[in-house]
């Protein structure tokens, strides 16, 4: 008699990610897709470890529990789309909760299965015009950033009547936080303030020379972020210049399932970044989602492209970069200003980069500074938190974060993701608190007295 085989309950090995085979016709095969959805949903239903994350899992479990069989086979497959719609590809289930990710034999990659479903639907049905518009960050930013237009757009976004109109036409909830637009863009500010370092030194894996990828948000919505980054980096002897040209990283299109547009963004950005790397620069970007796009999503979509791999290995989060240099004694730790107590929200797309909480660790170096760390999703997640159909759910997801920040009674609250910061601010306003987020780069600049 042969020895019995045993399936492991979970895996203790490090998660590994398989390339996304999105150009294979089988990727878009409806029967194959729904068979895989049913298989993975059945595993999730039996585990339920992810119930406290996004709304995809409670939605799935309610569908199962309310079905006739109380199993996945009793759920109408049309209702599977409800689960897909609530996934915003934060990746926390994959990297922090699921015991069945590869190399486990069950091979569960929930976020990339949701991405496959989104891509299938986009290829076969397209997307709402409003959703396409919300994901076209470059187009909206360029138009709204025109000097006269920027003021008008910002004023309109604060007008209750206009917000109701946006709700009906574009699907932006009247109470959702929407970003301001600036005519004095981030890239223009960098060009004016950079250039104060003449003899940069390498340290650890860093060159000490940085080409800044400003991002759509840093360029159009909060240009002070990139200005703060330049001031902080140059104060640490790091040369800063700009990536010669850039456009959106493609993350909003990825969340929509528009993978062809993601490829178009890749084709525009990767050569410009590779050119800077060849000239001896590292790449840094101030928004975690954009860094994650180049560290993880594009390499998994284009595993055979060497230039994509080169960028993956040379792009950094700002605090990751500074703490890497700290190992070699190249971080300026002379902080003339204390920060007091900070309620720090660790953004999802930062946590899943698997580098630890570098922002928290650096801010801890500031004397007389206390960090209250909140590791939970803010619910904003790209365009999810502003869409009329998801805003209430997003606010519910954010509520525990808001409660933690409020309970901390801190001098500052902060998040590496500026959009998450404003989602938390929105929740605090609902509790009668008028307090604005301060990005960690802004706080670090304050600590340096710059």
pLDDT digits (tens, 9 = 90+) for 363-380: 999 999 999 999 988 888
Q: Who's near 145: CB < 8 A, 6+ residues apart?
A: 181, 182, 183, 185, 220
Say what the pLDDT of residue 144 is: 64
Q: Tell me how crowded residue 352 is: count the other CB atoms within 10 A of its CB.
A: 21
- Is the pTM above the cut of 0.85? yes
Q: Who's near 89: CB < 8 A, 6+ residues apart?
A: 111, 114, 115, 254, 255, 381
Q: 359, 404, 354: which is closest to 377 by C-alpha?
A: 404
- Burial label for 129, CB within 10 Å (0-12, 13-18, 19+), is exposed
Instruction: Report residue 17: phi and psi, to 5°.
Output: -105, 130
Say what the pLDDT of residue 1 is: 38
Say what the pLDDT of residue 4 is: 42
H-state helical runs in 337-439: 348-351, 358-363, 391-408, 418-429
Note whether 98 and 50 are within 8 A (CB): yes
Can you give the length of the chain in residues? 450
Q: 109, 384, 81, 90: which is closest to 256 by C-alpha?
A: 384
Q: What is the DSSP string of 65-95?
A: HTSSSSSGGGS-GGGHHHHHHT-----HIII
- Enumerate residue ranges in the chain where pLDDT < 50: 1-6
Say what the pLDDT of residue 162 is: 83
């Amino acid at each position: 008699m042969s020895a019995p085989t045993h399936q492991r309950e979970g895996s203790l090995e490090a998660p590994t990610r398989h390339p996304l085979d999105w150009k294979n016709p089988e990727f878009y095969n409806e029967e194959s897709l729904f068979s895989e959805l049913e298989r993975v949903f059945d595993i999730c239903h039996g585990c339920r470890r992810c119930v406290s994350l996004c709304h995809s899992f409670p939605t799935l479990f309610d569908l199962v529990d309310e079905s006739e069989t109380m199993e996945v086979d009793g759920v109408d497959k049309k209702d599977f789309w409800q689960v897909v719609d609530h996934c915003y590809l934060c990746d926390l289930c994959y990297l922090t909760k699921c015991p069945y990710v590869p190399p486990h034999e069950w091979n569960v990659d929930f976020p990339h299965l949701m991405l496959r479903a989104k891509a299938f639907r986009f290829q076969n049905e397209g997307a709402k015009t409003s959703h396409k518009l919300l994901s076209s960050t470059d187009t909206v930013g360029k138009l709204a950033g025109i000097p006269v237009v920027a003021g008008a757009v910002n004023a309109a976004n604060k007008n209750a009547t206009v917000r109701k109109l946006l709700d009906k036409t574009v699907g932006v909830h009247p109470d959702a936080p929407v970003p301001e637009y600036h005519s004095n863009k981030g890239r223009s500010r960098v060009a004016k303030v950079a250039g104060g370092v003449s003899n940069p030194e390498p340290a650890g894996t860093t060159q000490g020379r940085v080409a800044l990828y400003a991002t759509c948000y840093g360029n159009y919505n909060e240009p002070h972020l990139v200005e703060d980054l330049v001031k902080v980096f140059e104060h640490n002897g790091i040369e800063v210049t700009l990536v010669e040209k850039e456009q959106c990283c493609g993350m909003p299109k990825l969340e929509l399932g528009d993978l062809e547009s993601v490829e178009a963004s890749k084709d525009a950005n990767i050569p410009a970044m590779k050119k800077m790397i060849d000239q001896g620069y590292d790449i840094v970007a101030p928004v975690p989602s954009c860094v994650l796009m180049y560290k993880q999503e594009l390499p998994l979509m284009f595993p055979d492209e060497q230039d994509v791999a080169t960028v993956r290995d040379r792009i950094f989060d700002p605090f990751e970069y500074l703490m890497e240099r700290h190992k070699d004694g190249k971080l300026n730790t002379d902080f003339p200003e204390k920060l007091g107590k900070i309620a720090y929200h660790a953004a999802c797309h930062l946590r899943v980069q698997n580098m630890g909480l570098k922002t928290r660790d650096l801010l801890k170096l500031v004397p007389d500074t206390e960090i209250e760390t909140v590791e939970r999703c803010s619910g904003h997640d790209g365009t999810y938190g502003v869409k009329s159909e998801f805003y209430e759910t997003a606010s519910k997801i954010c509520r525990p974060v808001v409660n933690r920040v409020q309970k901390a009674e801190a001098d500052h609250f902060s998040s590496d993701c500026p959009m998450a910061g404003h989602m938390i601010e929105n929740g605090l306003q609902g509790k009668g608190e008028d307090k604005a987020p301060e990005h960690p780069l802004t706080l670090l600049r304050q600590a340096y007295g710059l």
